[in-house]
Amino acid sequence: MIRDLFMKNRKKHTTTIPSVDAKNDVPEGIMTKCPECKNIILTKDLIKLMKVCPKCDHHLKMTAAERVACLFDEETFKSIDDHLKTENPLNFPAYTEKVESDARKTGLNEAVLTGTGKIDGLEIAVAIMDSHFRMGSMGSVVGEKITRAIEKATVLGIPMIIFSASGGARMQEGVLSLMQMAKTSVALTRHASQGLLYISVMTYPTTGGVSASFASVGDINIAEPKALIGFAGRRVIEQTVREKLPDDFQTAEFLLDHGQLDAVVHRNDMKETISKIVRLHVKGAN
């Protein structure tokens, strides 16, 4: 009797063997799968939705160009310093090749796109990091481009906005990368000394040396929902404190709860929010 029951179960148990082509069921580029809820959506529809999943509201990673498109008034963005080229100061094997390959893949010279543009007619300078390029890590060129953008904002007397998306300092450039934290900081201090506005927008992910420098010291610090933001990596902390960390640890919402952010802003409201903040900082305007 009992054996029969098991036999029944065994019969019911069928396996589906995926076809060889199964992986290509979602054609690369045409469809995109939400990494959070696994919902599959037409990429062109997703881009129209500013890469926010229509099903679960997850904010997918954006390229710097995509961010420009949904932030600036049409055809007002002008990029600067696209010509700067990364070197290999510590002669790390394969570093140059990796940077060149990411440059081809992203169409950027490095992990940040900088320039000026208009939001609702107000001119601002911007640095938009792109995590598709070497995890958005900051080496000499990233530090230099951000510094030059801040200096341009200072000279023009306009607000500076930085969208961070970075794993931190670029290991392959060693202590030169660390010093980019100081370089961008001295530039921000000079910008601030002119009474100019700096807004920091933290997106997924903002960690390590980027989190521990310009990203955390905006006059106003905002973040996208669920963005990972933190100083040390989750695994390192778990090993150090030997306890399980809460699921929402180092999310934008966690930081908001702990007093580290001014606001968590949905991507749909980002342009309007930035525009409002900038307007509220125009001296004597109404």
Partner 1 sequence: MGKTLKFEEPIIKLREKIVELEEFTATNSVDLSEEIGTLKVRLKNLEEEIYENMEPWDRVQVARHPERPTTIDYITMLFEDFMQLHGDRAYGDDAAIVGGIASFESVPITVIGHQRGKDTKENVKRNFGMPHPEGYRKALRLMKQAEKFGRPIICFIDTKGAFPGKAAEERGQSEAIARNLVEMAGLTVPVISIVIGEGGSGGALALGVANHIHMLEHSTYSVISPEGAATILWKDSSLAKQAAEAMKITAPHLKEMGIIDAIIPEVRGGAHRDSKAQAISIGNAIRTSLSELGTLDGKGLVDHRYDKFRCIGVFTE
Is 240 a binding residue for partner 1 by CB under 8 A? The answer is yes
**Residue 243 DSSP code:** S
Q: Is 193 helix (H, G, I), strand (E, B) or coil?
A: helix
Is 97 a binding residue for partner 1 by CB under 8 A? The answer is no
Is 212 a binding residue for partner 1 by CB under 8 A? The answer is yes
Choosing from 1, 5, 20, 175, the residue that interacts with partner 1 (CB under 8 A) is 175
Report the distance separating Cα 71 and Cα 163, nearest Å: 11
Report the distance separating Cα 38 and Cα 33, nearest Å: 5
Choosing from 233, 253, 256, 268, the residue that interacts with partner 1 (CB under 8 A) is 233
Token pair 């900088």 is found at 114
Is 205 a binding residue for partner 1 by CB under 8 A? The answer is no
Token pair 């180092």 is found at 250
Nearer to partner 1, 120 or 238 (CB): 238
Is 79 a binding residue for partner 1 by CB under 8 A? The answer is no
Report the distance separating Cα 275 and Cα 231, nearest Å: 29
Is 203 a binding residue for partner 1 by CB under 8 A? The answer is no
Choosing from 96, 185, 273, 275, the residue that interacts with partner 1 (CB under 8 A) is 185
Q: Give the number of other Cβ atoms within 10 Å of residue 63's Cβ.
A: 19
* Closest separation in Å from C-beta 174 to partner 1: 5
Q: Which of residues 9-38 bind partner 1 (CB under 8 A)?
A: none
State in Å, rounded, how far the first CA of the chain is from the last one.
85
Q: Are 135 and 142 in contact (CB under 8 A)?
A: no
Residues near partner 1 (CB under 8 A) are 83-87, 89-90, 92, 140-141, 143-144, 147, 169, 171-183, 185-190, 192-193, 208-209, 211-217, 229-233, 236-237, 240-241, 243, 245, 249-250, 258-260
